[in-house]
């Protein structure tokens, strides 16, 4: 059984959804200095840029992707490596960050 992770999902029309953890800070693996797949502002990195489109339902994409992120996070705490797919961390350009605010 895993922990409960309270999250906040912020979505504005025509902007990418942003997901952040609102509960206690997430723990680090003993060998890590930072959380994997987390943007500098603390938002979870759930998908590669361009994968999510505004016609997609949050219930079909962001919610299950968030759940999968926590599965990989808990495995990372035990194993020390990220079992999910994707790049180590895809940081959007300044222009795309501004458009999502």
Asked if residue 1 is part of any domain, the answer here is: no
Beta bridge partners of 62: none
In a domain, 54, yes or no: yes
Residue 71 in domain: yes
pLDDT tens for 24-42 read: 999 999 999 999 999 999 9
Q: Which domain holds residue 53?
A: 7-99
Alpha-carbon distance of 35 to 50, in angstroms, equals: 23
Evaluate whether residue 2 is within a structural domain.
no
The total number of structural domains in the chain stands at 1
Tokens 């490596």, residue located: 81
Which positions of the chain have pLDDT values less than 50?
90-101
Is residue 68 situated within a structural domain? Answer: yes
Q: Is 12:98 a contact under the CB 8 Å cutoff?
A: no
Global pTM reads 0.83
Residue 72 within a domain: yes
């Amino acid at each position: 059984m895993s922990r409960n992770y309270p999250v906040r999902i912020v979505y504005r029309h025509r902007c990418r959804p942003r997901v952040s953890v609102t509960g206690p800070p997430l723990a680090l693996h003993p060998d890590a200095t930072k959380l994997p797949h987390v943007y500098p502002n603390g938002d979870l990195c759930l998908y590669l840029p361009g994968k999510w489109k505004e016609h997609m339902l949050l219930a079909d994409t962001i919610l299950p992707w968030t759940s999968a992120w926590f599965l990989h996070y808990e495995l990372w705490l035990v194993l020390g490596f990220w079992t999910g797919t994707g790049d180590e961390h895809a940081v959007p350009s300044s222009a795309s960050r501004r458009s999502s605010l």
